[in-house]
Every structure is written in C-alpha cells, then in structure tokens.
Amino acid sequence: MIVLFGIFLLTLMVITALAIVQTQHLFVAVILAGIFSLLMAANFFLLDAADVALTEAAIGAGISTVLFLGALALTAEHERAASANRLLALGVVAVTTLIVIYATFDKPRFGDPEAPVHQHVAPWYLERTPETIDIPNVVTAVLASFRGYDTLGEVFVVLTAGIGVLFLFGAKPRRKAGPPRLAAHEPGDGLRHYLIPRVVGRLLIPFILLFGLYVQFHGEYGPGGGFQAGAIVAAAVILYALLEGEAQALRVLPQRLLNGLIAGGALLYGAVGVAGMLLGGSFLDYSVLTANPVTGQHIGILLIEVGVGITVTGVLISVFHAFAARGRV
Amino acid sequence: MPFLLDVASWVLLSLGGAFVFIGGVGALRMPNLYTRMHAASLTDTMGAVLIIAGVMLQAGASLATIKLAAILLFLLLTSPTASNALASAALLAGLRPGDTAAPHEDRGE
C-alpha cells in the first residue's frame, strides 16, 4: 500500500516538475513549485522522515513560495524565451540522466537493512541516544548533539544568507522621497479593506505562534525543532505584515530587533559550544554543562534549538521585509 | 459495532473522495475563474469535512481524533477565507464574473 502511495506521489511530482519546466508564466511556476514541495513533504512522511517532511512543508511549500512571490513582484511575470542552444542542453540533460539511471543500479534495494547507510554510524546513534542523551527523537539527538558541528554550520549558512540579502537590498536608503510605484491600492497598507481575511487572520495568528512554540520545544519528543519552528513563527509574522501592512509589522518587530535576533541566535549557539569548552569539555559537548551529563545534554539541545529558531525567524522575516521594502522604493 | 463504524467511515471516505473528484473536474471544465473557484470549493468544504470525519471514525476516541478536529476547524476557517481573498483579488484586478476568459490568464493552467 505504501509503495502504491509512493508511486502515486512520485508520478505527481514528475508531472509537476514537467509543468514547471513547460510553463512560461512565472507566477504559475512558483505555485507549482509550492505544490512540488508539498508533494515532496508527503513523500518524506511516507518514508517515516517526519522531521524532514515538516521542514519541507514549512519552508519549501510555505515561506519559499512567499519569498518567490515577493521576488516576482519586483520582476517580470513571464519568462523570456530561451535563445541558447537547445540541442546542446538536451544532450547534456540526456547524458546526465543516463548516468544517474546507471548509478541507481548500484543502489541497495529500498528499505534494505544491509544497506551501507544502515551499517555505518546509524546503529551507534540508535544505541547511544537512550543512554547518553535520553530523548525519544533520535533525529534531534543526531542533529543537535552528535552532529552539532553540522547544525552550527547550517545556522551560519542561514546567517550568512540573511546578511547577504540585507546587504543587497539595503544598498539604497529604505524610503526615498518620490511617488510610490504600486498603483492598485496604497502599498504598505496591508489588506486593510479586506475585512474577512483580517478577522480570520487575527484569530489565527496567536495559534500559529503557539504551534511554532510547540514545534520548537517539542522537538526532543516528536518531529520538530528550531528550523521548522523558526519558519512557522516567521510565517505568522509575515501573515501579520500582509494583513496589517509593512509599517505596522516593522513597528511591532523593528529591523534593529530583527538584526539582533539574527546575530543573537547564532551567538547563543556558539556560546553554548564555548561554555562547554570553558567547563572542561570540548566544543559543543553539552555533557559538562551540569553535574549530570544527561541533563546537560537536555539543556544544551534546548538552548541550541532556541538559537536555531531565533536566527531562522529573524532571517526569514528580514528577507521578507527586504523584498517588500524594495517594491515600495 | 466495529463493523458498523467501518461501514460508516467507508461511506464517508468514498463520498468525500467523490466530492474531491467532482471539484477537480469542475475546476478543469468550468468556463471562468469564479465558476472554477465555486467548483474547487467543494474540495475544501464537503471533501475535507467528509474525509476527515471518515478518518476520525477510524481513529476512534483518541488524541488523533482531537487533532483531526483541530485540523478540520482550521480548514473550515481558512479555506473560505482564502476563497474570499482570491475572489476579491480577482474582482479588484478587473475580472468581471460574466467574462468567459480572463484577459491575461494562462490557459494551460
């Protein structure tokens, strides 16, 4: 049954991917990309990767679509006709496809317990998690503790991307004097005259924030963690900005505070690592944080997940504001 | 009793699936945006309600049922709102309900 679902979802994904390539209308392509991410999330869920599915749904289908739409608002709606050599592209794609298909012959069978990936470090993680970290979600244990360096690197990637976007978009002063370009209705005013979305949105935003906090602090017990929670909280704030207008959202969460959040989250993560060093352990070794090593692991994971969540929230909201402010200049 | 529950949930799921299918056919075949939205809203309302009710019967009295109820409430709040926002945006963009095809609409949607 699972295999049937998998084949169904993968077929839909192939169709969606072909449609994305085929359409000239970029707006349609962005929406299709969101659908593709949602199908991918369902597929991850079928493969029992609930953490990845949550991330894909929150970031791939949710926030990315919003950011793409923000980018589209600044550029053209239609793709320019390709003038490059199409036969060459076709040849490259065909050769790559053949190589990839050939490579799949060497892959272990689906779900094979003898596959190399299940023989290397995975058994060690599964064995060690209950005794050294003692949390039910092994994914969080691997992500936050065993492979803490990797996650620190990911947080700094997000941080660097955020800084890059803010530099690119902050090159001009935020609000120049001059007539606003958007003509349909006052920009930055939000959906002030759309009564129903505003009422329902106001009703939902607290619950979205609550769900974000749940995902943040429940990551040790179920699927979730800083990346997903950051995306959900950022989605709530972006929804607020859409409903009440950019200016109001920036009044609630000013850009200076957002900059502080972006840097502060990464700093918190690094500080936890340094604290481990100062207390006599190695970098990002949480066991030395308290007298009981297991409690130390719990505290360390909680703190670094908060750091991840803060940075991701700050970067996503800032990028959204950067796009929106660019449209207004 | 479990047999009756299974039959009831089977009926609900099939009906829900039928409504989703009808909604999909309508979204493809209807002449303009508003009628297509009207057809597609079947998926959000009848389809979602019936399917989630059917799954709730399968889950029985458990935490999963409460979660499903929360999802249903969320869907019942958000989908009509999304439809409303979409329709008002289309109206604001100058699309009249009588038009058969939009001026700059991608046909191969």
pLDDT tens digit sequence for B10-22: 999 999 999 999 9
pLDDT digits (tens, 9 = 90+) for A109-153: 877 778 877 788 888 888 888 888 888 888 888 888 888 889 999
Could you tell me the residue range of the domain that residue A163 belongs to?
A: 121-329
pLDDT exceeds 60 at position B35: yes
Tell me if A191 and B84 make a contact (CB, 8 A cut-off): no
- CA distances for B78 relative to A198, A203, B18, B71, angstroms: 11, 10, 22, 10
Tell me if A204 and B78 make a contact (CB, 8 A cut-off): yes
Please count the other Cβ atoms lying within 10 Å of the Cβ belonging to residue B97. Answer: 11
Tell me if A28 and B109 make a contact (CB, 8 A cut-off): yes
Indicate if A266 and A329 belong to the same structural domain. Answer: yes
Indicate if A52 and A94 belong to the same structural domain. Answer: no
**In one letter, which amino acid is A40?**
M
Indicate if A203 and A291 belong to the same structural domain. Answer: yes
Indicate if A89 and A24 belong to the same structural domain. Answer: no
Last residue in a domain, options A52, A80, A108: A80
Q: Output the pLDDT for position A42.
A: 93
Q: Which of residues 40-99 of B touch A (CB under 8 A)?
A: 74, 77-78, 80-81, 84-85, 88, 92-93
pLDDT digits (tens, 9 = 90+) for A50-72: 889 998 998 889 889 988 888 88
Indicate if A66 and A200 belong to the same structural domain. Answer: no
Q: Output the pLDDT for position B109.
A: 40
Whether the complex's predicted ipTM is more than 0.95 is answered with: no
Indicate if A177 and A32 belong to the same structural domain. Answer: no
Number of structural domains found in chain A:
3
Measured between beta carbons, which residues in chain B are less than 8 angstroms from residue A200?
Answer: 77-78, 81
d(CA B4, nearest CA chain A) in Å: 24
Structure tokens at A96: 């790559």
Tell me if B77 and A204 make a contact (CB, 8 A cut-off): yes
Across chain A, what does the average pLDDT equal? Answer: 85
Tell me if A194 and B106 make a contact (CB, 8 A cut-off): no
Residue of A nearest to B106 (CA): A25
What are the boundaries of each domain within chain B? 2-92
Indicate if A14 and A100 belong to the same structural domain. Answer: no
End-to-end CA distance of chain B: 46
Last residue in a domain, options A97, A118, A139: A118
Tell me if A184 and B92 make a contact (CB, 8 A cut-off): yes
What is the crossing angle of helices A293-328 and A148-169, to 10°? 20
Indicate if A1 and A125 belong to the same structural domain. Answer: no
Say yes or no: B14 contacts chain A, CB-CB below 8 A: no
Indicate if A97 and A198 belong to the same structural domain. Answer: no
Indicate if A91 and A74 belong to the same structural domain. Answer: no
Whole-angstrom Cα distance, residue A266 to residue A257? Answer: 14
Indicate if A167 and A280 belong to the same structural domain. Answer: yes
Indicate if A197 and A268 belong to the same structural domain. Answer: yes
Whole-angstrom Cα distance, residue A156 to residue A262? Answer: 10
pLDDT: is A285 or B19 the higher one? B19
Return the minimum-mean-pLDDT range out of A89-93, A96-100, A291-295: A291-295
Of A23, A185, A197, the CB nearest to B108: A23
| A64 contacts A45 by C-beta, under 8 angstroms | no
Q: Output the pLDDT for position B43.
A: 86
Give the A-side interface with B, CB within 8 Å: 22-23, 25, 28, 184-185, 191, 194, 196-197, 200-201, 203-204
d(CA A280, nearest CA chain B) in Å: 44
Q: Output the pLDDT for position B88.
A: 86
Tell me if A185 and B106 make a contact (CB, 8 A cut-off): no
Please count the other Cβ atoms lying within 10 Å of the Cβ belonging to residue B73. Answer: 11
Structure tokens at A25: 């209308």
End-to-end CA distance of chain A: 54
The average pLDDT across A223-234 equals 89
pTM of the predicted model over 0.90? no
pLDDT exceeds 50 at position B83: yes
pLDDT exceeds 80 at position A179: no
